[in-house]
Amino acid sequence: MLDRNVNISIHPSGSSPKDQAVSDLEAVYLKAIELRGFEISQLVQRNNFFMIFQGVLLAGILQAEGKVPEIPVIVSITGFFMSVAQYRMAAGAKYWQQRWETELEETEKSLEFAYLAAGRTWSRALFHRVDAKQKVRDGLKKHKDRLNIFTDPVVLDKPSVSRIPIYTGALLAMAWASTSLVFWLRLLST
């Protein structure tokens, strides 16, 4: 975690230690938000690479089907390993996203305390002590549509968009393993 006790910002002379502490924590907070956003954007880019690569492999299998019997086996085994790599990449990205969200929550707690100590008001928390589900529920009520009875429960269930690539990688690994087995058995029977 980031050390919330380290002086990382430049303070004008005459700043009180309490104001310096608030300023330092604000800098840590902004950096943690920036790094969380970076991790999420990197997850999307990396996942797109793996999905496109596996799409190219699938196209290769479809092109080679019936022409060279060994190619689909090799390509599907490659697809299996690529989907395992996708699964692990997505799990690693989720780890770092969660790490920065935990850092943000801890820094918010420290900031709230530092603001109070400096006689300032901490007006908004994004992660710490926020009932996000109620805020989302209230926001969904503003958009009245008959189809919302189907979509709102799914939205409120809060599926993790950063976990979906993990599930996708696992599912694709199973699909590629099955495909490899089918092509391998077909190759053995010829």
pLDDT at residue 127 in the model: 60
pLDDT at residue 3 in the model: 53
CB 183 within 8 A of CB 64: no
pLDDT at residue 59 in the model: 93
CB 29 within 8 A of CB 111: yes
**DSSP of the chain, one letter per residue?**
---TTS--S---TT--HHHHHHHHHHHHHHHHHHHHHHHHHHHHHHHHHHHHHHHHHHHHHHHHTTT-THHHHHHHHHHHHHHHHHHHHHHHHHHHHHHHHHHHHHHHHHHHHHHHHTT------SSTT--HHHHHHHHHHTS--TTHHHHHHHHHT---TTTHHHHHHHHHHHHHHHHHHHHHHHHHT-
pLDDT at residue 180 in the model: 93
pTM for the complete prediction? Answer: 0.73
Length of the chain (residues) = 190
Q: What is the CA radius of gyration of the chain?
A: 25
Q: Which amino acid is at 29?
A: Y
81-91 per-position pLDDT tens digit: 999 999 999 99
Rounded to 5 degrees, φ, ψ at 129 are 55, 45
pLDDT at residue 79 in the model: 96
Q: Which amino acid is at 15?
A: S
Per run of 10 residues, the mean pLDDT along the chain (length 190 residues) is 47 66 85 88 92 94 84 93 95 89 86 83 65 75 76 80 91 95 90
Distance CA 78, CA 96 (A): 27
